[in-house]
Amino acid sequence: MQKTETAVFAVGCFWGAQAYFKKVPGVLSTSAGYTGGYKPNPTYEEVCTGKTGHAEAVEVVFDPAIISFRRLLEHFWKIHNPTSLNKQGNDSGSQYRGAVFYRSPEQKRDAEESKLALEKSGKYSKPIATEITTASEFYPAEDYHQDYLDKNPGGYCHIDLSTIR
């Protein structure tokens, strides 16, 4: 039986995050959704108000024998601006914040270590605003949001999908 793990990342709009992560070798499945808030079963319209506390996020199921959580973090840091608080590309509001929602003490440690390494790297002149927080309930987004960029080629995405390596 294949062992899997789950990671949850918020990098702004979930359309691009899902499109990106599903192409990463070792990722078995992805789901666009909402997490980090307080309203149960939020709708897209509710999350868009910024009043539910949720972030648009992607849930990534992966095979740790093929790709590590640390390697997924490298992808995560690459596809969003970690110094931008509540804004990615053209999208702004707390629902577009950058975040790692960790699911284990090991994921928390790895996320904190990778954030510290990025801060020390000198790559950014501004402080890292991306949050690292305990995972809460993940609510899958409505069906029309799942694999949105596959269904709507040319749809808006702040992520350069050609950078997957």
Catalytic (active-site) positions: 13
Cα–Cα–Cα angle for 68, 27, 88, nearest 5°? Answer: 90
Residue type, 56: E
Question: Strand, coil or helix: what is 104?
Answer: coil
Rounded Cα distance between 45 and 35, Å, is 14
Whole-angstrom distance, CA of residue 106 vs CA of residue 36:
19
